[in-house]
Amino acid sequence: MPSVDQLGSIAETAQGVRSGAVSATGLLEAFINRINAGNDALNALVALRLDGARADAQRIDEQVAAGADPGPLAGIPFSAKDVLATVDLPTTCGSRLLAGSKAGYDATVVARARRAGAILVGKSNCPEFAFGVDTANDLFGRTINPLGPFTAGGSSGGEAAAVAAGFSAFGLGSDFGGSIRWPAQCAALVGLRPTIGRLPGTGQLPAIHSRHPSVADTSTLQGLVQVIGPLARSVADAALVLDVLKGSDGLDPAAVDEPLRDYRGARLADVEMRWGTDVAGITAEAEVAAAVSSAADVLGEVVHRVEHGLPRAVDEAATVYSELRELDPLAEIRHLAHGREFLLTGFISSLLAREPSDRSSLPRLLAERARLIVKLSEWLLGERVLVLPIAAAAPFQDLGSIRLQGRAASGFELVTPSRAISLFGLPAVSVPRGQTADGRPLSVQVVAPPFREDLALAVALALENPGESK
């Protein structure tokens, strides 16, 4: 059995399992060996189901021996962020309020991955209730990045660390304002934020008043724009996972059965691109800006047209996102915490300590969001993409060390480019683009029109394998 680092793509490995050339049990043990050797130090996975995973692998090998097809993800070990419901592991959202709590069902995306033959090995760490650009909480502690002495990102930082360390072949995270894209950068992975509605969001916790199964509260910005998506080692792997998980489940009202085009069929020679490095007055640090500029140079060799300068609507979106987030009453967390506020960490406590905002401006802001979506779509349509940073700076060592434009800055400011794109609900792919002089990963995000994940993935592939798309 080859080592985890020697394995091919997910598609190739799953085909090996389906053909009998690779045993699911042997494949799983290679990943378990990595977990046993490194997870205690990294604190990426906070709940494990190794015996259950072994039973799953044995069953897959028996299916193959009997001539059955276990599915397109046959035998592939995966992990899921600790905000996604799982029937056989706790779902705690990284909070002492939910310590040991089990949802009693699988989130739709988890269930679909399992039905496709993938094997759940564990749940990954996240900041409390997935609020934050660094993965740490009072229940499990901080996740360490396997790539170096800098953050694993947040809020899907445990997922990023797990995939980068070879504990799982892909991870399922969630993205509100960059929570897939930013950790993907921190771990030099591909992270995909799908179009709102491409994947069902059913099974994300906490759910308001414990709705079962949980669906998003669309009266909040988070409920409107947060999506589930994959973190993986390559564009091809992320694309395959997206294809397996797509489509309506009849429970999430936002999820639709929009056809997914094959990214391998996209014609880059027809693509127009706009790019930029600064968003909403936040200037990207020099090495981040250089990575985006370099990506534009690479793509300039293969696309039809390149224009420097992002549409004005992107700048405006960052401001509207911030104003809408301020109106979030955090009703789900308030309900869970009632009478037990002492169990919350400082950051969440400070959010709940604020008086709920006057939501009378909500209709105006939602109308402004709708206007910006229309405004951006006047340019971003058809075969067109945007290329911009994930964050304004490279991964930091600790939260107190974040600096932008020579001053101390917050994590919220740091991911301004990702927040702006979230407001539109568009597909965005985080793709690695080298590293800083001191070894911190750099990435760019490729943004496409609604339900054109194929286009974003095709452009990302051209950056992943420069020269092969000419």
Segments of the chain with pLDDT less than 70: 208-211, 469-470
Question: In terms of Cα–Cα distance, which of 88, 70, 53 is closest to 169?
Answer: 53
Question: In terms of Cα–Cα distance, which of 15, 89, 23 is closest to 54?
Answer: 23
pLDDT recorded at residue 470: 52
Non-local (6+) Cβ contacts of 84 within 8 A are 91, 107, 109, 110, 123, 172, 174, 203, 204, 205, 228
Q: Which helix (H) or strand (E) holds 184?
A: helix 181-186
Active site residue: 23, 79, 124, 155, which one? 155
What is the per-residue pLDDT across 159-174, written as a single tens digit (0 to 9) for each?
Answer: 999 999 999 999 999 9
Please confirm, yes or no, whether 124 is among the known catalytic residues.
Answer: no
SS3 label, residue 308? strand
376 phi, psi to nearest 5 deg: -65, -35
Whether 394 and 436 have beta carbons less than 8 Å apart is answered as yes
pLDDT recorded at residue 408: 96
pLDDT recorded at residue 446: 99
How many helices and strands in the chain, by DSSP H and E? 16, 15
Q: Global pTM?
A: 0.97
What is the per-residue pLDDT across 53-72, written as a single tens digit (0 to 9) for each?
Answer: 999 999 999 999 999 999 99
Non-local (6+) Cβ contacts of 217 within 8 A are 208, 223, 331, 332
pLDDT recorded at residue 448: 99
Helices (H), 228-283: 235-245
pLDDT recorded at residue 148: 98
Active site residue: 79, 179, 234, 469, which one? 179
Please confirm, yes or no, whether 155 is among the known catalytic residues.
Answer: yes
Measure the CA angle with vertex 23, ends 237 and 77; round to 5°.
Answer: 40
Please confirm, yes or no, whether 214 is among the known catalytic residues.
Answer: no
Whether 182 and 418 have beta carbons less than 8 Å apart is answered as yes
* CA distances from residue 64 to 22, 53, 59, 180 in whole angstroms, order as listed: 10, 17, 9, 34
pLDDT recorded at residue 335: 85
State the burial class of residue 281 (Cβ atoms within 10 Å of its Cβ: 0-12, 13-18, 19+): exposed
pLDDT recorded at residue 211: 60
Give the torsion sign (CA, 32, 33, 34, 37).
positive
Tokens 């993409």 belong to which residue? 385
Active site residue: 23, 81, 430, 443, which one? 81
